[in-house]
Every structure is written in C-alpha cells, then in structure tokens.
Amino acid sequence: MKALLTATLALLACTICPASPSNIAAPASKITGDYVEARTASVFAGACHYNGELVTTGREAIMAWSFTGGSYHGTDLSGVRAMASVTSDDNLSQEQATRKAELIVDTHATAAQVSAVSDLLAAKCGSAIGKIVNVRRAAISFSHVKTDYAVKAEGFAQMSVEAMPDDACCAQPNLVWYTPLTALEHRKVGYTQSASYSAGTLGDKWSREGENSAFYGSFSF
C-alpha cells in the first residue's frame, strides 16, 4: 500500500511539472549583420581639418543595417534591411546634443519585423541616434562586396563607401576622431565616394563626396 501511494504521488508530480523543453527558457538569440554609416564630417583627418569641421558641420549622418541573423521580441530579423537619417543640433561627437532620427525599413519586412527593428534600434542605439520620430517603409538595396558598400533607399538616402587605401585608419589611429553610431566589431574607416540625404523630411537635404567620412563593419547585439 505504501509503495502504491509513493508511485501515485510521483506520477502526479510528473504530470504537474513535466520535464519538457517548454519549461526551459530559450537562450537569447544573438543579432548580427553588416553596417555602414556616412557623416557630414571627416572621421579620419588631420587635426586642423577636424577642428575646422567640429564647430561647423558633422551634425548629420545616414546609417544602414543588413541583418544576417538573430531575433528580437521573438521576431526573426534575418534578411531585414534598414536605414536611418540622424540629425543633431550640434556635432554628433557632443553627447549632450539633442538628436532625432527617421527610420526606413525595407518593404519586404513584415509588420512584426518593422516593429522589432524599431524597438531594437531605440534600445541599442538610442543615445547615438536620439528619438526615432518617424518609421516608414521603402525599398532598400544593400550591397556588400568585400570592402565595398552601396546602399540606397529611393527618395530617402544613398551612400557608396569603400575601404581606405592601406588601412590607413589602423596605421594612424590617432587621426580617427569619432566612433561609429552603432558599436562594431573590428570597425574600419571608409572612404565615401558619395553620400546624400534627399528626403528633406527630418532636416535639410545634404550631399557629400570624396572624403574619409564613413565607418563600416559587423555589428552584434
């Protein structure tokens, strides 16, 4: 009788609290991808050039992410592309400067992915990009071949960035004056062949070309 009672209690315990995978918390999904940004100031330059731009420009940037893996809030972000335009009332190196951003997510993304990307970037990059004041969809092309990047959202922004010759940013790190707006693994300074913000909905339209005003690399959240 005692043995029967023990067996019954054991069976009830297994029924109430089964040792199944559903009771084991899933590990956090690492979010990874490629990233490139271009600014309205040189990020690699001589001291005089840097100081000359510090108080006159460098208040805008365009950023682009191409997600290669991971999920946020339970939503898979693989294959999602996004761009943002950032503007500030001072040079973006000034942490106290008020800034705001407009976010574009590729038209192939689902509504859940758009929401997840917006929440993710606000959480991980909020101090760098400021308040996201507008989120909308547009077709985004993102090409990354070796160290060349070409990103474009029609009617919003575009940039064409390539590696600096001889990795000069690594050979002369004292001439790199800023840090990327998204934390990067093995960040590199890029040569901006051209970059422009054409929407004009967040601030003035701008265009830059032929300068060391870009960062690129892999991100991991």
Over the stretch 139-158, which tens digit does the pLDDT of each residue have?
A: 999 999 999 999 999 999 99
pLDDT value of position 180: 97
pLDDT at 22: 43
Mean pLDDT of the chain, nearest integer: 89
Query: 69, 68, 70, 66: which is closest to 26 by C-alpha?
Result: 70
The answer to whether the beta carbons of residues 183 and 53 sit under 8 Å apart is no
Segment 17-42 shows an average pLDDT of 73
- pLDDT beyond 90 at 51: yes
Q: Which two tokens stand for residue 131?
A: 């308040």
User: Higher model confidence: residue 30 or residue 22?
Assistant: 30
Burial class (CB in 10 A: 0-12, 13-18, 19+), 149: buried
- pLDDT per position as a tens digit, 164-217: 987 778 888 999 999 999 999 999 999 999 999 999 999 999 999 999 999 999
User: Is pLDDT of 136 > 60?
Assistant: yes
Reported as a pLDDT band with limits 50, 70 and 90, residue 73 is very high
148, with CB counted inside 10 A (0-12, 13-18, 19+), is middle
Residue 12 has pLDDT above 50, yes or no: no
With cut-offs at 50, 70 and 90, classify the pLDDT of residue 13: very low
- Give the Cβ contact number of residue 145 at 10 Å: 8
147, 32 Cβ separation under 8 angstroms: no
Q: Is the pLDDT of residue 14 over 90?
A: no
Domain extents in the chain:
29-220
Confidence of residue 126 (pLDDT cuts 50, 70, 90): very high
Average pLDDT rounded to a whole number, residues 122-138: 96
Residue 137 predicted with pLDDT over 60: yes
Phi, psi of 142 (to 5 degrees): -135, 105
How far apart are the two ends of the chain, measured CA to CA in Å? 58
Predicted pLDDT at 189: 97
Separation CA 7–CA 1 (nearest Å): 10
pLDDT of residue 28: 57
Q: What pLDDT is attached to residue 167?
A: 78
Structure tokens at 84: 């943002």
- Helix, strand, or coil (residue 196): strand
Q: Calculate the alpha carbon distances from 164 to 35, 129, 170 in Å.
A: 16, 25, 10
What's the token pair of residue 125?
């990059």
